[in-house]
Structure formats: structure tokens, C-alpha cells
Structure 1
Amino acid sequence: MLDRIELRGLTATGRHGWLPHERETGQLFRVDVSVSVDTRAAARSDDLTDTVDYGSLAERVVGLVEGEPVRLVETLAQRIADLCLEDPRIEDAEVTVHKPEAPISVPFDDVTVTIRRART
């Protein structure tokens, strides 16, 4: 069984969305990331190079949110999962993208898309 490293509530402004005004003005996005990794080597060595650096991962995820716009939250979630799986120590990733300012005509708290991807 693998261990989990989780980042919750990463927050950034992105220009993702189907509607032109979403892509022009941007809006708030929050991202939760959970990755499976074997942390035993890091626990033994007490060395950051033996595990996933969650600070660096957080910066890269925020960079994606703030970067090249996409139309669908699903696409953004997939790109974040792909980024996570670039690290060979990560066996799988679960990504939730929150779009709390989505253009919906009824009252709501949040819109989320959650995906799970594993190394094949």
C-alpha cells in the first residue's frame, strides 16, 4: 500500500472557461491534489530528495492554473494529473478542480471536477 501526499486548497486566478468573458477577465480556481507515493526511503533518510517535494509540486500546479487557458475544467484537471505523473515516484494522482465563480444562474456553493489517473 502506498502513502499519500495531499495539497488542499491551492488557489490561483485562471482564464479557463467556455464563455468569452471567462477567458478575458479570469476567475478564482482552487485545486486539491492527492498523490500516491512510497515515502519509506524519505522516512529512513530524512532527505527531501527521496520524496515528492510538495512545495515544488504546488508551485507547478498553480503555474498551470495561471497559464495557458483551456475551455473545460476537465481539461485543466487532466493537465494537472499529467504534471503529477511526470514524477516517476508518483503512482497515481487524484485532482479536484474547484470553480466557485462558475457562470451558473442559480445559487450554488461550488462546482468541482474530480479525476483519478494512474501510471500505466
Structure 2
Amino acid sequence: MDTDLITLTGLRVHGRHGVFDHERATGQDFIVDVALRTDTAEAAATDDLTRTVDYGALADTLADIVAGEPVNLIETLAERLADACLKFDRVHAVELTVHKPQAPIAQQFTDVSVTVTRGQS
């Protein structure tokens, strides 16, 4: 089976994840990058959206999770997002990164992120 790559980069969603009270109270933006392994040959041959992953639906699903129930760790958030990706038909594997560019760190920095790679079991 061929595996092609569908990517969604820079999905920015306001969420309330973190271990500190102020992170839960005011929230912050999280950025999600996702790469899905899937076979796009049938979709390309038929020009039919139902034969591939609808990246609009994917974006909505991921945004709902980020904006939804708070968790302490971005590791937990990344796992939930990856699990949701694997529930889409035709997805064989996912590599997903959650960025937390406004993390409460005393030092000057550009970004903090966690990347997970998961596949169908």
C-alpha cells in the first residue's frame, strides 16, 4: 500500500491548557501541525473528496479538542489530537506537533513544542 502525505500546518486555536491557574483562566494560543499518512491514489483517480481525508473536517475536529477540555500537559493534548486523527478513515499514521509559543518560561524563547508519531494498531 502506498502512503502519501496530507499536511495541515499552523492551525492556531485558543485553549486553556497548562498547570498554572493563570493558563487555565486566560488561556493562550496553541499551534498544531499535522502530517497524515494515507493513500491518495483513489481520490486522485476519482476526484472524489469521500476517497481522501477531508482536511476541513480535520481542522474542525482538532480545533474543537484544543478549545475544549483543558489538560495540564501539551503531551496529553498531542496524544488526544493524534488519537482523533487516527479515527479518520484512510489515515494509516500521523505525526503531530503541538506548539505552545506563550509557555510560562522565565527565559526568552521562540517556541516550545511536543511532537508525537502514532500509527494504526
User: What's the TM-score once normalised by structure 2's chain length?
Assistant: 0.97
Tell me, in whole angstroms, the C-alpha distance in 1 between the residues paired with 2:14 and 2:111.
15
2:7 aligned counterpart, secondary structure: strand
Q: How many Å apart are 1:87 and its aligned residue?
A: 1.6
Tell me, in whole angstroms, the C-alpha distance in 2 between the residues paired with 1:93 and 1:82.
9
Cα deviations across residues 14-57 of structure 1 (Å, max 9, x unaligned)?
00001111011100100001000000110110000000000110
Cα deviations across residues 71-119 of structure 1 (Å, max 9, x unaligned)?
0000000000000001231000011000000000000000000000011
Residues 78 and 98, structure 2, Cα contact 8 Å, conserved in 1: yes
- Structure 2 match to 1:91: 92
Note the residue ranges of structure 1 that are not aligned, 5 or more in a row.
none
Residue 63 of structure 2 corresponds to residue 48 of structure 1: no
- Structure 2 match to 1:77: 78
Note the residue ranges of structure 2 that are not aligned, 5 or more in a row.
none
Tell me, in whole angstroms, the C-alpha distance in 1 between the residues paired with 2:110 and 2:64.
25
Tell me, in whole angstroms, the C-alpha distance in 1 between the residues paired with 2:88 and 2:107.
40
The Cα RMSD (Å) is 0.7
- Structure 2 match to 1:9: 10
User: What's the TM-score once normalised by structure 1's chain length?
Assistant: 0.98
Q: Which runs of 4+ in 1 moved over 3 A?
A: none
- Structure 2 match to 1:104: 105
Question: One-letter code of the match for 2:65?
Answer: L
Equivalenced residues, count: 120
1:65 aligned counterpart, secondary structure: helix
